[in-house]
Structure 1
Amino acid sequence: MKKYISYALGAFGHDAFYNTLSIYFMMFVTSQLFTNASDAKMVGFVTTLIVVIRVGEIMFDPIIGGIVDNTNTRFGKFKPWLMFGSIVASIGLILIFSDYFGLTTSNPMLYLIIFGVTFLMLDACYSFSDIAFWSMLPALSMEAKERTKFGTFARFGSTLGAQGVIIIITPAIMLFSQLFSGAKPGQQTQAGWLGYAIVVALLCVGGATMTCLNTNEQHNKIRSNTKHTGVLEVFKVIAQNDQLLWIALAYFLFAFSYVVNNSLLMYYFRYRLGNANAYTWVGVITCILGVISVASFPALEVIVHRKAIFCGGIGVMLLGYILFLTAGTSLPLALVAIGLLFFPYPLIFLATLMAITDSVEYGQLKSGSRNESVTLSVRPLIDKLSGAISNGVVGIVAVMTGMTGNAKPSDISASGVFHFNMFMFYIPMVLLVISAIIFFNKVQLSEKKHAKIVQKLEEKLGVDDDTDTDADVNIDSSVVPNHS
């Protein structure tokens, strides 16, 4: 139980960090850092920097996975990168939630340069820690039920971390605003946001520390069937794993639609409902639903399997979108819609995570070598790509609709409301439908087929210990789907 909880604590800190960076940083930029109409260009510059850096850095994620795979220390190959990345990324998070001692007004160009360097450092180091953390999953156990336990506990932690920040963000910012700036009750300041960022940074480092102290890699013949993967080979490893690619495409469309909607949710409460404080209820509702959702995954996986969980979950989310569109400015209806949107999310995430995890053995049987971190780097890569593009979308939507600074709901024009709804509801709905179609038709790596793949690997490596593990394996088409 200690190892499960420790792995969950690592996920807690990581998702608190991820949501803060991907969802709330742009709110800080548009509501506190640059609040005047003349600051629109600076918002555009910051948004562009974030998108360019994150998208550019994402191209190196498979290489980072290769570096982790090739690491060999007495602490294992994951823990050194998990700790180093978490510490440096957390320092970077604290720095970007500041105005760099007034540089935003005294020297905007210098601010942009320093911000760009800091964000690049932060994003790269977070990639190392995130890839190291999630690629531990296939190394912790080869047995499907054990993996499901680790994955479920991790999702408990990540759900509480991601949704917990929704609960604490507004009260924490107001508390630190009063403590650090002497602000009046209900008022937010830059110092209040900085205090909140410090709390998140400590949670990230603390969770990573607990994971490193209380979990261990499993050592067996299948895991030893690895080779040093070169820089160019990491992309070949991914390209040859057709199931991984289909899972990745379906998950990207799902994750992007969800993150865009989630990123605009705080704007909805502040500039559409005119009730920013009610946003705390989102955290309470999603935390409760998240716990129920994650707890139900192991049983659902046995009863209906992953494909039905993924596609059925998207169906429930679409009902939530439809209700949201009819809710208007009604807070109760909006909260019910949020519940319908969120409840399937942890289930879909877990179905995807377990499918990607199983694709490690699929790729091993197909190529003849095992690449854990390279394969598992795909899921964090997709999350970061989704977050990067959503940062750009949020910056554009905020300026386009006039939802910046101290604007009131009455200040938002009908055109602004239409464009806001377009990005928050209509586009995500279309992407979800396409995602479900791809997963249903193209992802063939089921739980039963994975069990057969593991059995085949055990037979091969157990009987033929002296064979060249880099050689191609003759794959039984009944075990590994053929999509040539």
Structure 2
Amino acid sequence: DDRGWFWFAFIVCATAFLSALAVGFGTREVENDLRKNEEDTAGIGAVLKMLVKNDQLLWVAIAYLFYGIGINLVNALELYYFTYIMGFSKGFSILSFINMIVGLFSVSFFPFLAKKFNRKPLFIGCLTMMLIGLAVFSVAGSNLALVLFAAELFFIPQPVVFLIVLMIITDSVEYGQWKLGHRDESLALSVRPLVDKFGGAISNGVVGQIAVLAGMTTGATASSITASDQFTFKIMMFAIPAVMMLIGMFIFAKKITLTEERHAQIVAELEKTWGDQFSSESSEAGVLIKDDELTAMVPVAGKVVALNDVSDPTFASGKMGSGVAIVPSDGKVYAPFDGVVKTVFVTRHAIGLVSDNGIPALIHVGIGTVKMKGTGFVTYVNEGQHVTKGEQIMEFWDPAIKKAGLDDTVMFTFANSDLFEKFEVEVKPGAEVSHTDVAVEIEK
């Protein structure tokens, strides 16, 4: 009755209000120039324009849309199934409670699955399990145990699919930057909720029509639903969603090429272009450095290695600029000078800094560590943040790098170092150093 609906609405509104307050008061925003965007990117038109250009984001959005319509239809019609097919509406409450518990375990199990399987086979495997669940559900009839079993087969993979799609959408930000030359992070991350809402709107729009077609209207009971009505309902609840999910699976299998390995390659290629932005800036401004000199400290404690002796040819060849390499003795990384954080790489293994007098430098932890996708790395700074010399800006777990079979050498380089009149490395190969030692002396 109306009292039940009142308290239901009260609980929803109170929870929403309190959680909104928690977000509002608990979230810290950092204002900086990098967050200013003079281009108008608001509206669905901007999202669609960006989608067309970023093909991987486009295809994952389309695949997820078909999938979303399918699962939303099934989820929305489950209550009708329990009420009008089984004649046991309380069974839906049992299912909802089981889903809540199972969902927590499903999400918790995702890191293990992601480590064992690539995203594409994991996505296809999840949808295959869901389709089997639909097939069992369609013949379960009024058998509560079989209905709950089928419903869980259908539900368990849903949180995993959500996370797979979310990770691919996140990776598509770097893919778009690599392909288009600029980042569209806010727009890319808005695609998932946009598709979710769009798919939900479509399914919710037809649920009422399905109920009418199947005779599930006011006054109807399970005994009044004919065999023909049941058949119509099951076509809508099981067959059509299955077709939608199969289309989504086919698109995902054929069109998604942005694997974890490909994303790591893209990030590595983007790293190589780190100094290009400063070449452009220097040609426009005429000079790169505003003051005469800079003393840069060692960013991490350890044993010095000549930069041209490291196993990464990009750094050894000097393409990333001159500098020094260090085999670390601990995992703490410090700011080598006063300056601004220009870039925090998405995989957290590298940070780009610009000194207060305009000199760009890159601190890159490990060789091939982009493949770790941030595992074992913590950054303590944000893009646009000002740091002072000796402030800790990053930390990494060295055993994790070694366990992955990778080189943990830290490279500290300066872009466009050929523009400097003086560039002297003050530490010698083989020397043990700390972050309080001078690494490089630079003069304009």
Q: TM-score range by the shorter chain?
A: 0.5 to 0.7
Q: Equivalent residue for 1:353? A: 166
Q: How many Å separate the matches in 1 of 2:2 and 2:200?
A: 23
Question: Is the 2:65–2:196 contact (alpha carbons within 8 Å) kept by the matching residues of 1?
Answer: yes
Aligned counterpart for 1:228 among listed residues 32, 39, 48? 39
Larger helix fraction of residues:
1
1:452 is matched with: 265
Judged with a 3 Å threshold, the aligned counterparts in structure 2 of structure 1 residues 258 and 202 are, in CA distance, closer, same or farther, namely same
The answer to whether 1:294 aligns with 2:107 is: yes
- The aligned residue for residue 302 of structure 2 is none
Distance apart, 1:280 and its partner CA: 1.1
Q: Tell me, yes or no, if structure 1 residue 378 matches structure 2 residue 191.
A: yes
Q: Distance in 2 between the 1:448 and 1:211 partners? A: 35
Supply the distance in 1 between the matched residues of 2:195 and 2:122 (Cα, whole angstroms). 20
**1:200 aligned to 3, 12, 15, which one?**
12
* Counterpart residue number, 2:84: 271
Structure 1 counterpart of 2:213, from 388, 400, 411? 400
Distance 1:203 1:309, change over 3 A: farther
8 Å contact kept, 1:397–1:420: yes
Whose Rg is larger?
2
- Alpha-carbon separation, structure 2, partners of 1:208 and 1:454: 35
Residues 246 and 442 in structure 1, CA contact (< 8 A), matched pair in contact too: yes
Distance 1:313 1:209 in 2: 36
2:71 to 258, 263, 278: 258
In the alignment, the residues of structure 2 paired with residue 214 and residue 191 of structure 1 have an alpha-carbon distance, to the nearest angstrom, of: 34
Checking the alignment, whether the CA contact within 8 Å between 1:225 and 1:369 is kept in structure 2 is no
Preserved CA contact (<8 Å) 1:358 1:450:
yes
Q: What is the 5 A alignment of 1:316-327?
A: 316-327=129-140
Aligned to 2:149: 336
CA contact (8 A) 1:227 1:369 kept: no
How many Å apart are 1:465 and its aligned residue?
Answer: 2.8
Q: Equivalents in 1 of 2:272, 2:169: separation in Å?
A: 23
User: Which ranges of structure 1 fall in alignment gaps of 5 or more residues?
Assistant: 1-188, 469-478, 480-484
Specify which of 293, 298, 304 is matched with residue 117 of structure 2.
304
Question: Could you tell me whether the CA contact under 8 Å between 2:214 and 2:233 is conserved in 1?
Answer: yes
Aligned match of 2:399? none
Of the structure 1 ranges 313-322 and 395-404, higher mean CA displacement relative to structure 2 is found in 395-404
Question: Does residue 440 in structure 1 map to residue 253 in structure 2?
Answer: yes
Q: How far apart are the structure 2 equivalents of 1:399 and 1:192?
A: 26
Verify: 1:425 aligned to 2:247, yes or no: no
Query: How far did 1:227 drift?
Result: 5.9
What is the alpha-carbon distance in structure 2 between the residues aligned to residue 345 and residue 331 of structure 1? 21
TM-score, length-scaled by structure 2: 0.59
Q: Give 2:310's aligned residue.
A: none
Write 1 or 2 for the structure with the bigger share of strand.
2
Tell whether the 8 Å contact from 2:47 to 2:191 is kept in structure 1 after alignment. no
Q: 2: distance between equivalents of 1:252 and 1:227?
A: 31
- 2:195 is aligned with what amino acid? I
**Cα distance, 1:405 vs. partner?**
2.5
Report the count of equivalent residues.
280
Is 2:211 aligned against 1:390? Answer: no
RMSD: 2.5
1:328–1:234 distance in 2 versus 1, CA, 3 Å? closer
CA distance in 2, matches of 1:205, 1:460: 45
* 1:226–1:370 contact (8 Å) kept in structure 2: no
- The Cα of 1:190 is off from its aligned counterpart by 3.7
Q: 1:243 aligns with which of 56, 61, 68?
A: 56
8 Å CA contact 1:248–1:378 kept in 2: the answer is: yes
Return the offset for 1:200. 1.6
The alignment-based identity, stated in percent, is 42
For the 8 Å contact 2:87–2:221, the answer to whether it is kept is yes
CA distance in 2, matches of 1:324, 1:218: 50
Deviation at 1:199, TM superposition (A): 1.4
Q: Which residue of structure 2 aligns with residue 209 of structure 1?
A: 21
CA offsets per residue over residues 62-102 of structure 1, 9 Å max, x none? xxxxxxxxxxxxxxxxxxxxxxxxxxxxxxxxxxxxxxxxx
Structure 1 417/449 Cα, relative in aligned 2: closer, same or farther at 3 Å? same
Q: In structure 2, do the counterparts of structure 1 residues 218 and 371 end up closer, same or farther at CA, with 3 Å as the change threshold?
A: farther
Q: Distance in 1 between matches of 2:133 and 2:90?
A: 22
Structure 1 residues 324, 454: closer, same or farther in 2, change over 3 A? Answer: same
Quote the Cα distance in structure 1 between the aligned partners of 2:21 and 2:78: 32
Give the Cα separation in 2 of the matches to 1:457 and 1:201: 45
Q: Which amino acid aligns with 1:210?
A: A
Query: TM-score by structure 1 length?
Result: 0.54
Runs (5+) with no aligned partner, structure 2: 282-369, 371-444
3-state SS in 2 of match to 1:464: helix
